[in-house]
Amino acid sequence: MNKSISDNGETVAKGSICGYDSLDQLLSANLKPELYQEVSRILLGSNCGRPLEHIVIPASAKDLSSKHDFDLQAFSFSADKEQTRKPRVVRVGLIQNSIALPTTAPFLDQTRGIHNKLKPIIEAAGVAGVNILCLQEAWTMPFAFCTREKKWCEFAEPVDGESTKFLQELAKKYNMVIVNPILERDMDHGEVLWNTAVIIGNNGNIIGKHRKNHIPRVGDFNESTYYMEGDTGHPVFETVFGKIAVNICYGRHHPLNWLAFGLNGAEIVFNPSATVGELSEPMWPIEARNAAIANSYFVGSINRVGTEVFPNAFTSGDGKPQHNDFGHFYGSSHFSAPDASCTPSLSRYRDGLLISDMDLNLCRQYKDKWGFRMTARYEVYAELLAKYLKPDFKPQVVSDPMLHKNSS
């Protein structure tokens, strides 16, 4: 466990909140039970009018968590009982992790080290009965995309490359759909690179892929040295367990990106990410939860963990001196539901597996309750967007005539 010294001289976990793994732990440890319940209701919402229930995890999964030192949490989202449909409960998992070896280690050793590190976490998901599992953005490598050094391109692999093959065996073994976010080398189009999520079916087959729609250009995170905006649109993948989509990292800041997956029928949207505390942490619990509410689907938010130090210093476009790391990747992976409820987050500094049972009937129930699809004015938005895209666009602004009168 990484440690640092706090202002008062106490030793606390690096990346933690006052020595606690997560905000939920801090609140539960420092508030009276009745006050904690009320604060939790406001911060985490309630599911069908009740707090989320914990899922009983098999002992074999707990043993793997203890042996390999990763955070393991599990919660259940319910839906109201319906008269015409049976419950559609699916068990979903998210994995967050730090890298396995220093960034100076040989590249093949780094990737295989991460494979070895994640295998027991994936197996814990398997023995716990997870149906759909999503890994973090570019999980096979350090998040080197902001260094602008081209050597990191060596981590790229084809859609059917080593990491996909590694996960295909586990998907087939555990009858589990796995979302595999990689740095893709497109062998059919001049070996260009993409930030891609490969969808592996529960039979070990490749269902399809989605490429990252939005590329950040903020601070250290200017990733267009390696790949550009994706060309796959907003696909929704129909699996035996439900309809899923992948909104990769920076796409979470774009409400229309979330909307498009919903319009295509997604029931669960995963957001595999890599983001640091100074840049985005206040946004992290808000954006995905808002997307789940606005689009009546579940969201699984995943962020990597730890501080990754690179051998050569690099600079940002924000005036900061050159540095060798991006800052602390704060983990805090969580699930959000259409009814505004969400799970507590995983640790801010430990590897982790978050499991959730979710009744997908809740998606339609909240479409019916709020009527967002019915009351949206898509034709009005479409008209505005069509005008906005034209060079002669003028904003619809009505000015107070008095603003332009000569004060004299």
What is the residue-wise DSSP string for 198-251? Answer: EEE-TTS-EEEEEE-S---EETTEEGGGT----SS-S--EEETTEEEEE--GGG
Q: Point out the catalytic residue in the list 249, 287, 308, 342.
A: 249
Q: Which of 54, 65, 126 is nearest to 93 (CA)?
A: 126
For position 30, what pLDDT does the model report?
Answer: 78
> Is 212 a known active-site residue?
yes
Q: Which of 341, 257, 333 is nearest to 292 (CA)?
A: 341
Of 13-27, 148-162, 313-327, give the lowest mean pLDDT range.
13-27
Mean pLDDT of 240-257: 97
Higher local confidence (pLDDT), 14 or 380: 380
Mean pLDDT of 279-308: 96
Percent of the chain with pLDDT over 90: 82
For position 273, what pLDDT does the model report?
Answer: 97
| Helices of type H across 221-360 | 255-263, 277-280, 284-295
> Is 146 a known active-site residue?
no
> Is 184 a known active-site residue?
no
Question: Which CATH number is correct for 52-370, 3.90.1150.10, 3.60.110.10, 3.40.50.300, 3.40.50.720?
Answer: 3.60.110.10
Q: Point out the catalytic residue in the list 134, 212, 223, 342.
A: 212
| E strand or H helix that includes residue 182 | strand 177-186
Mean pLDDT of 13-21: 59
Q: Which residues neighbour 130 within 8 Å (Cβ) at sequence distance 6 or greater? A: 91, 92, 93, 174, 176, 355
How many CA atoms within 13 Å lie on the side-chain side of 26? 13
* pLDDT interval class at 23 (50, 70, 90): low
User: Residue 202 in contact with residue 225, Cβ under 8 Å?
Assistant: no
For position 17, what pLDDT does the model report?
Answer: 65
Give the pTM: 0.92
* Amino acid symbol at 198: V
For position 31, what pLDDT does the model report?
Answer: 72
Mean pLDDT of 213-231: 93
| CB neighbour class for 6 (10 Å; exposed up to 12, middle 13-18, buried from 19) | exposed
Q: Point out the catalytic residue in the list 137, 184, 287, 308.
A: 137
Mean pLDDT of 17-21: 66
Q: Return mean pLDDT, the chain.
A: 92
Paired sense of beta strands 89-96 and 352-359, if any: antiparallel
